[in-house]
Amino acid sequence: PGIDGLETYKRILALHPNQKAIIASGFSATDRVKEVQKIGAGAYIKKPYTLEKIGVAVKTELNNMNEVR
């Protein structure tokens, strides 16, 4: 409460610099979404979303992590 997803992710990164995230928002991709992706977050899914969309986003990010290794 009191902070948005971008600020939350920044605080998480301060503690865990390699932490990844998938962004979920009820709004279209905005500058805030792009900003959080620039600092390390991965896929963006728009609310309402299905379990299938979450699964695809997770699989995509896991594949991206494996390609980096």
Look up residue 15 and give its two tokens.
């503690």
DSSP state of 47: S
Per the structure, how many domains does the chain have? 1
Distances (CA, A) of 17 to 1, 13, 36: 22, 4, 14
Q: pLDDT category, 69, cuts 50, 70, 90?
A: low
Look up residue 52 and give its two tokens.
């299938």
Q: pLDDT category, 65, cuts 50, 70, 90?
A: confident
Containing structural domain, residue 46: 5-68
- Per-residue pLDDT tens for 12-47? 999 999 999 999 988 777 888 889 999 999 999 999
pTM for this model (two decimals): 0.74
How high is the pLDDT of residue 33? 87
